[in-house]
Every structure is written in C-alpha cells, then in structure tokens.
Structure 1
Amino acid sequence: MRAAPTCGIWILILALWSPAAITGTDLPVLAGRASVIDGDTLEIHGERIRLSGIDAPESSQHCETMAGEAWPCGRRAAQALDREIGTSLVRCEPQSRDRYGRFIATCSAGAGDLGAWLVRSGWALAYRRYSLAYVDDERAAQVDRAGIWSGLFTAPWDYRAARR
C-alpha cells in the first residue's frame, strides 16, 4: 500500500503548475477587474490587453446612420463593452504581445467570450487578417443590422490607414 503524498509534495506540484501551462504559452493568464480603454482594448492590473481576432472602431471614429447623420461609433463600442463587463471579473488568456507591448488575448467575462460578443453585437469586425474565429458572428451582426451594421461605416483598419 502506498502512502499518501506528503504536504511537501503537494507544495511542489502547486509550484510547478502555472496558468501558462493552461494556455500553452509562457504568458500569464490575466484576471481581475478590467478598465475599458477602447472597443477592443482592456487594462487589467496595469497591463494593456488587445482582444484577439477583432477590430473595433477607433475612439475618434464616427459612423453614419442610413439618413447620413454622423454618430460616435468608436465611443459607443467602448461604452457597450464597458456595460457588458459591468462588475464582472475578466479573464484573459494571452497568445502573444503586439508591437506596442500589449498582450493579444482572448478574454471572457462570466462564461462569455468578449470578442465574440462585440462582433455579434455589431461593435467590432472579425479581423480576418489575424483570425477567422469571429466570421460567423460578424455575418450574424450584419444580418441583424446590429451596432455599426445599422448604417454606413469605414472598417477600423481602413480608418487608421487613412489617418496615417
């Protein structure tokens, strides 16, 4: 009969276990209260996190209603994300860092993927250049005329390119 592991062995097992083992990267899982920076960027514990696979309108970006009236779609995307998170804790699983030093991560609040929610709600586009994960969510938002799909808009990547 084998003896049960001692407390010291359990401490060693816990010391070797890390959030990086869960994500398969050397990057830490980030979790906590999130501040919304813009429609696709959060901050947790002083770390900036760019949501993976999506691109939301820039904070300064405006869209148009079908009647041709401008509205601040970039600010509204950030406000919608802030409302969706509310007081929930956010958990982000980083895949990499971008050229600005931000983590690129899939984040969830409760049981929901925030990127999927933003795209399906029409507040962000699937960023096909980097991922196809949210293409079906984008199609659903377009059919529902949700968020920015309710009128006319410039894709965020085109908006940034035009400002350079």
Structure 2
Amino acid sequence: MNTFATASANRALFGGIGCVALTALLVAIGAGQIRSREAAGGQDFTLEVPDASLFPAEGGQDDIPMPAPSGENAAPGNVTAPQTPAPEQGAVTTGSGAGGEAGPRPSPEPQVLPAQPTPRFNAETVTVAEPPVSFARPIVLAAGRFSIAGKVLELEGILPVPVTRQCQDSAGEGWPCGRMARTAFANLVRGRTIDCAVPAKQWSGTATARCTVAGKDLSQWLAENGWAETAPGSPFEEAADAARQAGLGLNSPNPRGNASRPRDRSAPVPPDQTAPQQP
C-alpha cells in the first residue's frame, strides 16, 4: 500500500516538472519568432512623403477659402469688391450714368386700402347679474327690513314701514298698522332662507337689495298686499296703487272687522224670524 502511494507521488512530481519545462520551451520559441519579425520589419519600413505638387507655390492663392479681411487690418492687395445684391422679384432696372449701368429701381409703395367700417354693436353696457346670496333664519325687524348677523338689510323698491306707525280706519279710529305689517311679513318669511342680490355677503351699515323666498319676490308681495309704500320710480308703483284702491294692508278701511267692534247693547235685538210663533 505504501509502495503504491509513493509511486503516485513520484509520478505527480515528474509530471509537474515536465509541464514547467514544456511551458518554458514554448515561451522561448515564441520570443524568438517575435524578434525575427521585428528585425525583418525594420529593414523594409519607408516613410510616406506627400507630393509637393499638391501645394500652391509661394505667394499663390490657397484652395481653402478664407474669410475676407475687414477694417484697418485688411491687406491693401486683398481688397474684395462689394457685391451688388440681386434685384428683388418684381423690381424694374433702368440704365443710369455714363456707362448705362443698370441700377435697382425701388418697388412701388403698397396700395393703401380704405379702412373697413367697424361693425357697431349695442353700445349700452350690459350689467351681469350677481348670483344671489343666501341668508338663513333672518330676523324681521319691520315690513321690508331684516336683521342679518347684526347688520340691517332693506328691500329694494319699497319704503319699510316703521313698527310704531299708526293708521286710521274709516271710522277715524287708530290701529297699529306698523305692527300688523310686520306680523304679516313675518308670517310670510317664517324664518326661511332668503336669497338676496347683494354685492357681497359681508357689508357695513345698511344694505339694500332685491330678495326672494321660495322664488317669491318679497318687495312685490308687500306692494301687492298694501303692507309697504313704494319709493319714487319703483317698479312696484302700479302694484301699490292697485292695493291702495282695493283697500288692502295699510289702506284697509276696517282692518279689525265687524266682529272686533263692541256691539251697542241699548239697541233692540230683532226677533229671530226662523223661530216658531206662539199661538
């Protein structure tokens, strides 16, 4: 067993030495061939020289275009004559001067066409309606006057009726028409949201605007029912006149009705005609 192991180790050693020797031999052969090729190439190498006839003679013009010198640095013998631009299309040339040289003639001025009349439109400025602003739960101060977040808003086109106003009926008796007008107006609004055409949701002092509730114009309603007077030039004057002639609202001749008046007990009571007669 030991003899077999020793023989294997010897074969491996001799094999390694043989490989190293073979490699060294190949390297030496390759180096020799490279040296022989370099020696052969050095003897046959020739430098390529360009043909002298391809270059212009001294003082001659070079084939490569060069920019013409300008200014004071320009050589006196190398002055380039200015080139006359070709006449534009449509230009007419005429002879001028002693030599009859043709010169450019300026083109005629373009014909000026008369100005076309500008189409006329409606010169009146059209005011774009602002979108309405909604106010929830307004407080009715009087007929035609609200309190909204501590600010006052009055309806446009009418004169609000003061709450303290007193009116007289046909019998000459006074009645609180201002309070009744406010009550009638509050019953119409009933705390609902109103939509008003105000420039902004916030304002200072008292603002005036057209307002609606559920699509009903509040100014028109007050004028039609006689619970407000109209301002001069108001679009609701006709409706207010009709309510005045009909005796509505503030112009009512008997706002309380006959039932509200005390009856005269001294007057005899007429017998009931439907009661059966005693024989």
TM-score normalised by the chain length of structure 1: 0.67
Segments of 4+ moved more than 3 angstroms: none
Match of 2:223 in 1: 119
Unmatched runs of 5 consecutive residues or more in structure 2: 1-127, 255-279
Cα gap change, 1:70 to 1:79, in 2 (>3 Å): same
- 1:109 is the counterpart of 2:220: no
CA distance in 2: counterparts of 1:64 and 1:94, whole angstroms: 36
Deviation at 1:29, TM superposition (A): 2.5
Deviation at 1:80, TM superposition (A): 0.8
- On the 8 A contact 2:158/2:234 being kept in 1, the answer is no
Cα gap change, 1:65 to 1:109, in 2 (>3 Å): same
Deviation at 1:40, TM superposition (A): 1.7
Unmatched runs of 5 consecutive residues or more in structure 1: 1-20, 153-164
The equivalences for 1:75-90 within 5 A come to 75-90=179-194
The equivalences for 1:10-159 within 5 A come to 22-23=129-130, 29-94=133-198, 101-128=205-232, 131-151=233-253
TM-score normalised by the chain length of structure 2: 0.41
- On the 8 A contact 1:95/1:104 being kept in 2, the answer is no
Deviation at 1:43, TM superposition (A): 1.8
Provide the identity percentage.
28
Greater per-residue helix proportion: 1
Count how many residue pairs are aligned between Structure 1 and Structure 2.
124
Residue type at the aligned position of 1:48: V
SS at match of 1:142: helix
Q: CA RMSD in A?
A: 2.4
Between 1 and 2, higher relative CO (CA 8 Å, sep ≥ 6) is seen in 1
Higher-Rg structure is 2
- On the 8 A contact 2:136/2:191 being kept in 1, the answer is no
